[in-house]
Structure 1
Amino acid sequence: MRRWLALLVAATTSLVLIALLVPLALLVRTAAEGRAMSAAESEADSVAVTVGSVDTETLRLGTERAAHPVTVFFPDGRVVGASARRSPAVELAARGRSVTAAVPGGREVLVAVQGVPGGTAVVRVHLSDADLTEGVARVWAGLAALGVALAGLGVLVADRLARAVTGPVSALAGVSHRLARGDLAARTVPGGPPEVRAVGLALNHLAERITGLLAEERENAADLSHRLRTPLTGLRLEAESLADPGEAARIEARVDALERAVTSVIVEARRRTRDRAGCDAAAVVSARVAFWSVLAEDQGRRLDLDLAPGPLAVAVPADELAACVDALLGNVFAHTPEGAGLAVRLAAADGGALLTVSDDGPGFGTAAPPERGRSGAGSTGLGLDIARRTAESSGGSLSLGASATGGASVTLLLGGA
């Protein structure tokens, strides 16, 4: 913006200076020509006074002392002074009319002197082009230097004014980027013109409002999650009352996992800023696949596991990655028929990890990820969105495709820690 304002002022100043200096330069040239012509006419008049009253030698000495070449043409054909041809303008002046005529290389001033024996004498003063423009080049150079100085001064002032505007605007942009990255404590110091200060105050007010809304949302999520503890306690008591110890242990394990998930939601909801601690993706994925392998065995599903040797450090907290893997595997068990196989593959990629979960089910039928909260299979539609947000929070991405058997394939690129 500073550069554009400087260019705008430079262009505007240049146009104003051209409109002012060009006529002034032409006026200087005209004034120089007028001054030279006046001096030549004065010389011609001075010589004309002496014609007929002094002898030829005295007249010749007078013409030699003149500042410009002076020639006197007598009616009898005699020529005194500087050598010059008898031009048509001289013939015209010999008829008694003083004239000024343009000649190659300059001008000639002709003064008719009457009362000379034999007719009318003509005094000619020659002005060269250099005489007509004497001093003009220096004045033009001064005007050009003045124009450049004024244009530079205008650009300098415009740059200072632009800095007063762009500085606060750049600060506003920086605060906006910090807010977008999750730094809710970012605030700007309003400055600059009144309009920019108003924008700064509005941005601070917006940040305060966002902080308040998020805090309220976190508390609501924590309260809702906390309410789930009561039914979880009831489920635990019911599990302990089962006669089959193996079945009771199995249900208690599921209740423990659910309670850990609820606790994680409460902790995450009350966390002011997201903890970007990383984890070992190989260890987390291996643990979650081991958990789901029991259900896969019960449903007669083939489970293929291909894990790269760890550790594979990724910029995702362990609990978030575990929730992401659970969401993906849960989708497979929820939306594919029993007996449909699935595969989990984890490989190193671009300093992070590449996690792929595929199945032998009916597939997505589309290459675009479903929108958050929408699902064509009667679910909440949040599973894939959880996976997408987990991948993007680490600087990665999520992509959907088809497996080798025609089922669904979900690939997450997780950024390195």
Structure 2
Amino acid sequence: MRARLTLLVAATASLILLAFSIPMAILLRNSAAQHAVDSAEQEGQSLVTIISSGDRAAARTAVDTLNANSAYPVTVFWPDGTLAGRDAPRSNAVDLAARGHSITAETAEGREVLFSVNVDGETAVIRVHVTDDQLGAGVARSWLLLGAIAVLLLGFGLLLAWRLARVILVPLNDLAAVSHRLANGDLEARADAAGPSELRNVGTALNTLADRIKELLEAERERVADLSHRLRTPLTVLKLETEALGDREREPVERAVADVERAVNEAIRDARNPAEAGSCDAAAVVAERVEFWSALAEDTARECRVRLAPGPLPVALSAADLAAAMDSLLANVFAHTPDGTPFEVRLTPRYDTGATVDVADEGPGLPDLGVFQRGRSEGGSTGLGLDIARRAAAASGGQLVFGQGPGGRGALIRLELG
């Protein structure tokens, strides 16, 4: 942007300098030519009195003296056709001046200034010649000086534009860098109040926004931690209640309560100390969650087909997040298909890195795309299950897609993990 701003100033300044320099250059050239013509006219005018007296000897002496001391050659055309002074051709302009008209005419080598002088009833012509070099004397030096001034002005304008761009763009780049840091989760990033007043106002507003975001996130984490902590009381009651059950019924209930307690503890820990994205072996995590849900599948008369690629299959997602995503996908099968509906879980490596988890069932299929929206549910639940899986896939650099199950029946939800 700095280069574009400098280029814009350079183009504008160049147009202004051209609009000023071209007329000035023409004016300097015309002024030099007019000065030379005026000097020649003064020399010719000084001879008019002597020539009009008719004294040819005195006129010849005056003309020779003038030619010896002047840069402009002088010629006198007498009425009888004789010449005095420098030899010069008799042009049409001289013939016109011999009729009584004092004129200035262009020649092949410059200009001739002609004076018509009455000598005893006849007309003599005084010719003063100005060459092209004399007409343009000093013009090259003036043009060079004018060009140097234009270049200096252009350079000053570019330097000023570069400094101005620095004053504006450096704080603007700092604001952009702070914005990117905030977007990447660095809530301690703050902008310096520098630059013009408008940019300082933007920096102050950005800092205020960062402070507000930090306050809201901290409050949200505290609410989640408090809510999770409240769940510990009913979990304790459940533990006590399981002691009254028989040995056969107690084991699965205690295991389920332990899983819930683990999830609650992880929620409290993550809310108070959010961790960076981790990694895990997808083969081990998926196998462990399928084994957990297979007990419920057996109780509901569901055939659970499992095809898992051998590990390790490293993915850019923590084991807890992948387990939560798998739980949401498998819970979706149990919640939205009738008992006895078969389902299948497949784990395969991706073509580049990561892994792909397919959960397919032979149920009625997904009702519409709205089930992927956060908080949207067709079965009376919270509507967060598939969104949890979607966010887990996105966090690992993958995606969540859906389609039809085997044979065109049911639903297929694919969890692609980076």
TM-score by length of 2: 0.91
2:331 is matched by which residue type in structure 1?
Answer: G
DSSP-derived class of the 1:274 partner? coil
For residues 13 and 145 of structure 2, the distance between their equivalents in structure 1, rounded to whole angstroms, comes to 17
CA displacement at 1:318 relative to structure 2: 0.9
Q: Which residue of 2 aligns with 1:364?
A: 366
Q: Which residue of 2 aligns with 1:76?
A: 80
For residues 253 and 197 of structure 1, the distance between their equivalents in structure 2, rounded to whole angstroms, comes to 58
Q: Which residue of 1 aligns with 2:71?
A: 67
Between 1:24-33 and 1:302-311, the stretch displaced more is 302-311
CA displacement at 1:365 relative to structure 2: 4.5
Between 1:87-96 and 1:231-240, the stretch displaced more is 87-96
Whether the 8 Å CA contact 1:361–1:407 is kept in 2: the answer is yes
For residues 96 and 251 of structure 1, the distance between their equivalents in structure 2, rounded to whole angstroms, comes to 134
Q: Which residue of 2 aligns with 1:3?
A: 3
Determine which of 116, 136, 148 is the counterpart of 1:112: 116
For residues 219 and 360 of structure 1, the distance between their equivalents in structure 2, rounded to whole angstroms, comes to 42
Determine which of 177, 184, 188 is the counterpart of 1:185: 188
Q: Which residue of 1 aligns with 2:411?
A: 408
1:379 is matched by which residue type in structure 2?
Answer: S
Q: Which residue of 1 aligns with 2:207?
A: 204
For residues 125 and 274 of structure 1, the distance between their equivalents in structure 2, rounded to whole angstroms, comes to 99
Please say if 1:123 is aligned against 2:126: yes
CA displacement at 1:114 relative to structure 2: 2.8
Determine which of 396, 406, 410 is the counterpart of 1:394: 396
For residues 410 and 137 of structure 1, the distance between their equivalents in structure 2, rounded to whole angstroms, comes to 83
Q: Which residue of 1 aligns with 2:229?
A: 226
Please say if 1:241 is aligned against 2:233: no
Question: Which ranges of structure 1 fall in alignment gaps of 5 or more residues?
Answer: none
Q: Which residue of 2 aligns with 1:285?
A: 286
Q: Which residue of 2 aligns with 1:318?
A: 319
DSSP-derived class of the 2:289 partner? helix
Between 1:42-51 and 1:129-138, the stretch displaced more is 42-51
Whether the 8 Å CA contact 2:113–2:127 is kept in 1: the answer is yes
DSSP-derived class of the 2:270 partner? helix
DSSP-derived class of the 1:54 partner? helix
Whether the 8 Å CA contact 2:317–2:395 is kept in 1: the answer is yes
CA displacement at 1:24 relative to structure 2: 2.0
DSSP-derived class of the 1:380 partner? coil
DSSP-derived class of the 2:276 partner? coil
2:401 is matched by which residue type in structure 1?
Answer: S
Q: Which residue of 2 aligns with 1:172?
A: 175
For residues 37 and 355 of structure 2, the distance between their equivalents in structure 1, rounded to whole angstroms, comes to 92
Q: Which residue of 1 aligns with 2:306?
A: 305
Whether the 8 Å CA contact 1:63–1:81 is kept in 2: the answer is no
CA displacement at 1:260 relative to structure 2: 0.6
1:160-196 deviation digits (Å, cap 9, x = unpaired): 1111111111111111111111111111221111221
1:209 is matched by which residue type in structure 2?
Answer: R
2:259 is matched by which residue type in structure 1?
Answer: A
CA displacement at 1:62 relative to structure 2: 4.6
Change (3 A) 1:165 1:144: same
For residues 357 and 318 of structure 1, the distance between their equivalents in structure 2, rounded to whole angstroms, comes to 18
Between 1:62-71 and 1:140-149, the stretch displaced more is 62-71
For residues 262 and 41 of structure 1, the distance between their equivalents in structure 2, rounded to whole angstroms, comes to 110
CA displacement at 1:213 relative to structure 2: 1.1
DSSP-derived class of the 2:125 partner? strand
CA displacement at 1:218 relative to structure 2: 0.7
Between 1:94-103 and 1:278-287, the stretch displaced more is 94-103
Q: Which residue of 2 aligns with 1:92?
A: 96
For residues 86 and 368 of structure 1, the distance between their equivalents in structure 2, rounded to whole angstroms, comes to 104
Q: Which residue of 2 aligns with 1:336?
A: 337
DSSP-derived class of the 2:403 partner? strand
CA displacement at 1:56 relative to structure 2: 8.5
Question: Which ranges of structure 2 fall in alignment gaps of 5 or more residues?
Answer: none
Q: Which residue of 2 aligns with 1:12?
A: 12
Q: Which residue of 2 aligns with 1:139?
A: 142
Alpha-carbon RMSD: 2.3
For residues 403 and 38 of structure 1, the distance between their equivalents in structure 2, rounded to whole angstroms, comes to 103
For residues 99 and 368 of structure 1, the distance between their equivalents in structure 2, rounded to whole angstroms, comes to 97
For residues 406 and 84 of structure 2, the distance between their equivalents in structure 1, rounded to whole angstroms, comes to 116
CA displacement at 1:348 relative to structure 2: 2.3
CA displacement at 1:81 relative to structure 2: 4.4
Whether the 8 Å CA contact 2:193–2:204 is kept in 1: the answer is yes
Between 1:209-218 and 1:403-412, the stretch displaced more is 403-412
CA displacement at 1:64 relative to structure 2: 5.3
Whether the 8 Å CA contact 2:371–2:383 is kept in 1: the answer is no
For residues 240 and 175 of structure 1, the distance between their equivalents in structure 2, rounded to whole angstroms, comes to 56
CA displacement at 1:10 relative to structure 2: 2.3
For residues 139 and 417 of structure 2, the distance between their equivalents in structure 1, rounded to whole angstroms, comes to 75
1:9-37 deviation digits (Å, cap 9, x = unpaired): 22332333233323322221221111111
Q: Which residue of 2 aligns with 1:194?
A: 197
For residues 402 and 82 of structure 1, the distance between their equivalents in structure 2, rounded to whole angstroms, comes to 111
Q: Which residue of 1 aligns with 2:44?
A: 44
DSSP-derived class of the 1:358 partner? strand
1:242-257 aligned at under 5 Å gives the runs 242-243=245-246, 245-257=247-259
2:31 is matched by which residue type in structure 1?
Answer: A
Whether the 8 Å CA contact 1:369–1:400 is kept in 2: the answer is no
